[in-house]
Amino acid sequence: MRRAAVLVSVLVALGGGIDACATAPDGPAQLAVQQNDRVLTLFSLDQLLSLPQVDVETPHSGGAQVQQGPTVRSVLDATGVTSVDRVRAEGRDPAQTLGANELTDAIILNVTKRNTLKLTGTGLPRDRWVRDVTKLVVNP
């Protein structure tokens, strides 16, 4: 436990803690899946792309009408999380919390042209989309 506290202190001193680990300034996005203030898995972009990719229609998008990426559920499954009541997606936009019933095959993490992640989906209103997602927090 002391070692973890020292590591967090060092990360904060270097400029940002967990969030600093989640996005490399010169490289593709990474995604931290966290529960109880503990990072369970840190996914690279390649690891996320190796998960099954789903196409979802987003007719309310100002850009692509079909977007692709892994479902949020598949990311959580790959982490080994078994009991999910809700998940909070954190990124550049205000964080959004999804209930377990919302984690359908139509809710994905789209890989953008900038190699960042966007929470989006067919049934998710545009004002709930989150750009530049860096963290999924399980049961916040």
* pLDDT tens, position by position, 3-30: 444 333 433 343 444 443 444 444 577 9
This prediction has a pTM of 0.78
Domain count, the chain: 1
For residues 76 and 88, give the distance between their C-alpha atoms in angstroms, rounded to a whole number: 12
For residues 100 and 85, give the distance between their C-alpha atoms in angstroms, rounded to a whole number: 5
**Could you tell me which residues are beta bridge partners of residue 41?**
33
Q: Are strands 31-35 and 135-138 parallel, antiparallel or unpaired?
A: parallel
Let me know if residue 23 belongs to a domain: no
What local confidence, expressed as pLDDT, does residue 20 receive? 39
For residues 27 and 93, give the distance between their C-alpha atoms in angstroms, rounded to a whole number: 20
What local confidence, expressed as pLDDT, does residue 77 receive? 96
Let me know if residue 3 belongs to a domain: no
For residues 40 and 31, give the distance between their C-alpha atoms in angstroms, rounded to a whole number: 11
- Maximum CA extent, the chain: 50
Cα 2 to the chain's mean position, in Å? 28
Residues 6+ positions from 128 with CB-CB distance below 8 Å: 96, 119
For the beta carbon of residue 39, count every other beta carbon within 10 angstroms: 13
Let me know if residue 99 belongs to a domain: yes
Let me know if residue 16 belongs to a domain: no
CATH number for the domain harbouring residue 81: 3.90.420.10
Cα 34 to the chain's mean position, in Å? 10
Q: Look-up: residue for tokens 């989006």?
A: 120
Let me know if residue 133 belongs to a domain: yes
Let me know if residue 2 belongs to a domain: no
Tokens coding 105: 């095959």
pLDDT surpassing 80 at residue 65: yes
Let me know if residue 104 belongs to a domain: yes
Let me know if residue 25 belongs to a domain: no
- Which structural domain range is residue 74 located in? 31-139
